[in-house]
Structure 1
Amino acid sequence: VFWVHGSTRATFEESYRSIADVLALPRRHDPDVNVLALVRDWLQREDVSPWLMIIDNADDVKMLLSETNGQKDALMPIASYLPKTDNGKMLVTSRSWDAAEKLVGKGKMIFRVPIMEEAQALQLLRKKLDHGGDEVAALRLVHTLGCIPLAVNQAAAYIYKRSQRSPLTIQSYLDELQKSEQRKGTLLRSDRGDVRRYDGVSNSVVLTWQMTFNQIKREQPGAADLLSLMSYFHAQNIPQYMLHGYNSGFINATQGDDDDDDDLEDDLDVLHAYSLISTTTSGFCEMHPLVQFCTKLWISEFGSPDQWKTHFLQSASQHFPSGEFETWQQCQTLMPHIQPLLDKQPLEERDRLEWSKLLTNVSWYLVMLGNYSRAEVMVQQALSTQTEILGQEDSWTLLSMGNLASTYRNQGRWKEAEELFVRVMEMNKMVLGEEHPNTLTSMANLASTYRNQGRWK
């Protein structure tokens, strides 16, 4: 059995040199001999015993399949040095479906390793710690880590090493992990080492995934941009229609733009090939929360987090509907995604305006659901921002003013509702004219306020 570390050309060559030493191949130390070709040719011989080669971490398609400029001349692609013979078998591990497909040739020859089951993750944790520990805390920990083997292994290594100085329980580690985003990042970045991993290969979840993110950015920058935007959504049921325009300066693209649609599909394929996202139902994706967390750490170190926060806000503002009955299903789908945006006002004026428009629509959805007190607080914030930036005569300002009046009316606060409805009606008359639909709607709202008070004249 031959083990080949396939993450870089250097590690591949080093693995082949080790194989040449194990087999004691003639001329392996000759500087004029290509050791890669020497090992390949020997393994292809018919008189050699059956063998198995495991090529681990073969993720970089470009490195595997492209020629490289060496010190003297062009170097052949790494894949050309893989032996081709019926006398041996090869097993390839890769985080990239594209790389795996190009190496083995057929999709049916590829097995996608599923997420570890909860019971298996618990077994791994117990084995690494040499004790069972608190069963409830252990279950909560593996669940928090998404049953990801590397994350469980890293947590166990940290607990074990720390316990050599002073006792550290699973529950204590879990409490630290959940204390804050900063502390969580520190723990997931920690690399306590693992003698079974290659030298120079990190045991850290954060650093391991960041290597993948960097590779995607090199291979297909648009896919890295898409990953950055998706990290700000809720992990489940991410609507693909909210992702259009991620590769432009402003989220203003709509579904139906052929170029944008093609780019989106191509970049989704890349992220899916690296198992960073999965497709649930038609038009929706999901990401593992830990992938999202590590992506945000990566953006904060090497990217522009403010840019992607702005893109996410703009997409939310553009796509959250009016809140009328016929839009309820879409509103319900989007609420988990936009919830973190509602309570924190941005600093930049353009972002504040987008935020206020989002609040206006969400507030009306809440009014329709009967959540008047929360809707009131939200639309007051929207109205204040819009009045400051757009002025009192703008259509968005008048819409928010009408929504606020409706929250008063539905709470039986007739005087406040009447005063606002009168203002909205008079402003609409002045700006839009008496026959405009918005003016007529404001008249109807005022009339309903009179009717609810029994004021028939």
Structure 2
Amino acid sequence: MWVLWAHASSTARLEQSFHDIADRVKIEGRRDPQVNIFKLVHDWMCDTDERWLLVLDNVDDAGFLFDAQATTSKIAAKPLHEYLPYCAHGCVIVTTRNKEAALQLVEQRDIIALDPMNALQARTLLAKKLGVQAASGNAAELIALATILEHMPLALVQAAAYISQRAPLCSVAQYLDQFRKSERKRTSLLSYDKDHLRRDREAKNSIITTWQISFEYIQQKRPSAADLLSLMSFFDRQGIPKNVLQTQAEHKEDKHNRKIDTAKADRSENDNSVQFECTDSDVENQSWNDSADDFEDDDFEDDFDDDDVDDTDFEDDSEDDAFSEDITALRNFCFISVSTDGTTFEMHALVQLSMRTWLAANGRLGRYKDQFINNLCEAFPTGEYENWTACQALFAHAKAATSHKPEGASSLVQWATLLYRAAWYAERKGSAGEAEVLATQSLKARKKVLGRDHEDTIWGLAMVASAHKIGGKWDASEELEVLVMETRKTKLGADHPSTLTSMANLASTFWNQGRWEEAEKLDVQVMETRKTKLGADHPDTLTSMANLASTYRKQGRWEEAEKLEVQVMETSKTKLGADHPDTLNSMNNLAFTWKSLGQTVKAICLMQQCIQRCEQVLGASHPHYLSSLLVLEQWEGEQADVELLNRFKDMRL
């Protein structure tokens, strides 16, 4: 049986391969300079009695196969694909990275998609290519290298060649260390392009270059798909949301400089964090603009043409169709994969790195980085409980944005806003480390662009202080909170809502430091001012009451604490809902107070309700849930001991 290999990336390569096949099987007439080599090989394959297998390798662009081509010998009489033989004693295998090209040659049912290597296959390939180096290393290092290279065969072979070429000065462990150092170092390692004996000499052995060749093909054939892939290369590799990719890049400049976010403190007995809450400070002004727009729409309702609506609908449909076509083009080249519900996408990290490297080399990195920041900032909501689902879906992408700091002032402000909101969400979820990193980077950017006295910079200081607090860094938190409070008193006045928030946050820090009298003084001042300014049932007023009750509880003033906590819990259930985190905090606090008052059964029942809802809302890994669970187990154990002792006493009597 003959196994015949033809390189089919272009007409010239295919023609040369057919000449090589003719020489290999010694077809008569192959030396004739006027021979149509494609017809000659085709006829031999059809007429021979021997079995054969023809491999057409690397047909990423099948277009040249469908036109008559001028070759170095003679003009082919018909399109080249018609010279591919179909007969019972032979078969043709086509390899391609482009599904669209495959569909030009075979039916969908005849396409065999090669799944990625699994961990065992990747490790086996590495060990085989490394040889002695693999034997001298350890299995964990091979697994780590295979994992970091995402089980991609070309990347694995390339890494093995790099290590082998430099042995013994380079080992698997040293390669891993270098790879993890920086994106620039990863690019350098993955650009290594040493020839492999069994690969086509003209084929690129660098995975970076290989992906970029495919990207340039996409760019020529469908520029909008190339734009989309460029944008996607900045996201986290998994869960890239469709709606964020489709967000328009054009936004008003004044949106970039919005003041965002307000904050409030909320203390609970077994979680000493400050709970930061933020809202857009331009909401009030925006509502006036929206109302004006609505008035104009109503004013001209009679002159409105239904055809305009239809045109808009058609435009939207056209945009959706174009987006779908772009996605199809990228999927056909295996650049991306799509979730089963069609709402999110996934990319290999190495593909993303390859794209960013190409963009940087061609002076386009900044453009797509800015668009990524813009789209994500527009989509990432503030960190209130109501937005947690949306925040969770985008949080990994916000963390990815920390590695893509933009250069321009406007984009840098957006970047800082994005990181601020991500920090806010992390803080509310109890992730101290992530909140601190995100908040600190956001604050540095705001200081640089907006200045130290800008209101957004002050909010940034407050967020860093909050992150310090949930991490138990009380002194660092106090230092920043005093600065925030004094600055706001000077700029905004002592009874401004933002000033009151900073006072509440500082009181919370005093509370955590055991400085009860100082905490009480601030708590009372904040509560009374909010009652006057906002009303007794406003959420911020309720938070102040909860904080003061917590301070009373620490001072052993149980009856005063209970009175406030019952009021807070009942009002929170009515105003915020039974599952709101603030309501859960109020239940937690009241349970502790009842326990201290000796009302253990009531305390246990309330804590059980709190824990059940806390697990559903916050998750089983949240500090609130875990600490409350430990407390409940302790209380139930104590209660069981008491009941057992009482039964023993009854038996003796």
Q: Shorter chain as normaliser: what TM range?
A: 0.7 to 0.9
Aligned pair partner of 1:172 in 171, 174, 178: 174
Q: Secondary structure at the match of 1:44?
A: helix
Where does residue 436 of structure 1 map in the other structure?
none
* C-alpha deviation, 1:63, in angstroms: 2.7
Q: Secondary structure at the match of 2:91?
A: strand
Q: Spell out, residue by residue over 1:65-89, the C-alpha distance to the aligned partner (whole angstroms, 9 max, x if none).
A: 3455779979854323212323321
TM, length-normalised to structure 1: 0.81
How do residues 239-278 of structure 1 correspond to structure 2 at under 5 angstroms?
A: 239-245=241-247, 250=250, 257-278=316-337
Aligned counterparts of 2:457 and 2:496: Cα–Cα separation in 1? 9
- Please, which moves more after superposition, 138-147 or 346-355? 346-355
CA contact (8 A) 1:376 1:407 kept: no
Q: Spell out, residue by residue over 1:199-218, the C-alpha distance to the aligned partner (whole angstroms, 9 max, x if none).
A: 12122111111211112112
Aligned counterparts of 2:329 and 2:540: Cα–Cα separation in 1? 55
Where does residue 222 of structure 1 map in the other structure?
224
Where does residue 312 of structure 1 map in the other structure?
372
Q: Secondary structure at the match of 2:114?
A: coil
Cα 1:75–1:59, aligned 2, differ >3 Å: closer, same or farther? farther
Where does residue 56 of structure 1 map in the other structure?
57
Q: Which amino acid aligns with 1:91?
A: I
How do residues 214-363 of structure 1 correspond to structure 2 at under 5 angstroms?
A: 214-245=216-247, 250=250, 257-282=316-341, 283-302=343-362, 304-342=364-402, 346-359=406-419, 361-363=421-423
Q: Secondary structure at the match of 2:181?
A: coil
CA contact (8 A) 2:249 2:375 kept: no
Aligned counterparts of 1:121 and 1:191: Cα–Cα separation in 2? 20
* C-alpha deviation, 1:310, in angstroms: 0.5
Cα 1:292–1:406, aligned 2, differ >3 Å: closer, same or farther? closer
Cα 1:383–1:309, aligned 2, differ >3 Å: closer, same or farther? closer
Where does residue 158 of structure 1 map in the other structure?
162
Where does residue 26 of structure 2 map in the other structure?
24
Aligned counterparts of 1:177 and 1:399: Cα–Cα separation in 2? 39
- Please, which moves more after superposition, 141-150 or 175-184? 175-184
Q: Which amino acid aligns with 2:485?
A: E
- Specify the structure having the higher radius of gyration (Cα): 2
* C-alpha deviation, 1:287, in angstroms: 0.9
State, as a whole percentage, how many aligned pairs show the same letter: 31
Gaps of 5+ in 2: 253-312, 471-476, 500-532, 550-563, 565-653
Aligned counterparts of 2:464 and 2:363: Cα–Cα separation in 1? 43
CA contact (8 A) 2:369 2:406 kept: no
Where does residue 130 of structure 1 map in the other structure?
131
* C-alpha deviation, 1:309, in angstroms: 0.3
Q: Secondary structure at the match of 1:286?
A: strand
Which has the larger helix fraction?
2
Q: Spell out, residue by residue over 1:410-436, the C-alpha distance to the aligned partner (whole angstroms, 9 max, x if none).
A: 98969929846844589xxxxxxxxxx
- Please, which moves more after superposition, 372-381 or 31-40? 372-381
Q: Which amino acid aligns with 1:260?
A: E
CA contact (8 A) 1:398 1:424 kept: no
Aligned counterparts of 2:98 and 2:239: Cα–Cα separation in 1? 23
CA contact (8 A) 1:235 1:289 kept: yes
CA contact (8 A) 1:360 1:382 kept: no
Q: Which amino acid aligns with 1:232?
A: F
CA contact (8 A) 1:321 1:331 kept: yes
* C-alpha deviation, 1:233, in angstroms: 0.5
Aligned counterparts of 1:405 and 1:205: Cα–Cα separation in 2? 41
- Please, which moves more after superposition, 170-179 or 113-122? 170-179
* C-alpha deviation, 1:240, in angstroms: 1.2
Aligned counterparts of 1:338 and 1:102: Cα–Cα separation in 2? 40
Where does residue 430 of structure 1 map in the other structure?
none
- Please, which moves more after superposition, 377-386 or 76-85? 377-386
Aligned counterparts of 1:405 and 1:198: Cα–Cα separation in 2? 56
Aligned counterparts of 1:383 and 1:181: Cα–Cα separation in 2? 25
* C-alpha deviation, 1:444, in angstroms: 4.8
Cα 1:61–1:424, aligned 2, differ >3 Å: closer, same or farther? farther
* C-alpha deviation, 1:278, in angstroms: 1.3
Q: Spell out, residue by residue over 1:46-102, the C-alpha distance to the aligned partner (whole angstroms, 9 max, x if none).
A: x54222111111111323334557799798543232123233211111111111122
Where does residue 147 of structure 1 map in the other structure?
151
Aligned counterparts of 1:333 and 1:85: Cα–Cα separation in 2? 53
* C-alpha deviation, 1:320, in angstroms: 0.6
CA contact (8 A) 1:188 1:206 kept: yes
- Which structure is higher in RCO with an 8 Å CA cutoff and minimum separation 6? 2
Aligned counterparts of 2:243 and 2:119: Cα–Cα separation in 1? 33
CA contact (8 A) 2:52 2:90 kept: yes
Aligned counterparts of 1:448 and 1:79: Cα–Cα separation in 2? 77
Q: Secondary structure at the match of 2:56?
A: strand
CA RMSD of aligned residues (A): 3.9
Aligned counterparts of 2:118 and 2:403: Cα–Cα separation in 1? 36
CA contact (8 A) 2:234 2:404 kept: no
Aligned counterparts of 2:147 and 2:544: Cα–Cα separation in 1? 56
Q: Spell out, residue by residue over 1:122-150, the C-alpha distance to the aligned partner (whole angstroms, 9 max, x if none).
A: 21122112232322211211111111111
* C-alpha deviation, 1:243, in angstroms: 0.9
TM, length-normalised to structure 2: 0.58
Aligned pair partner of 2:209 in 207, 210, 218: 207
1:85 and 2:87 correspond: yes
* C-alpha deviation, 1:324, in angstroms: 2.5
Q: Which amino acid aligns with 2:241?
A: P
Cα 1:257–1:169, aligned 2, differ >3 Å: closer, same or farther? same
Cα 1:328–1:26, aligned 2, differ >3 Å: closer, same or farther? same
Aligned counterparts of 1:11 and 1:323: Cα–Cα separation in 2? 58
Where does residue 3 of structure 1 map in the other structure?
5
Aligned length: 430
- Please, which moves more after superposition, 216-225 or 372-381? 372-381
Aligned counterparts of 1:262 and 1:399: Cα–Cα separation in 2? 45
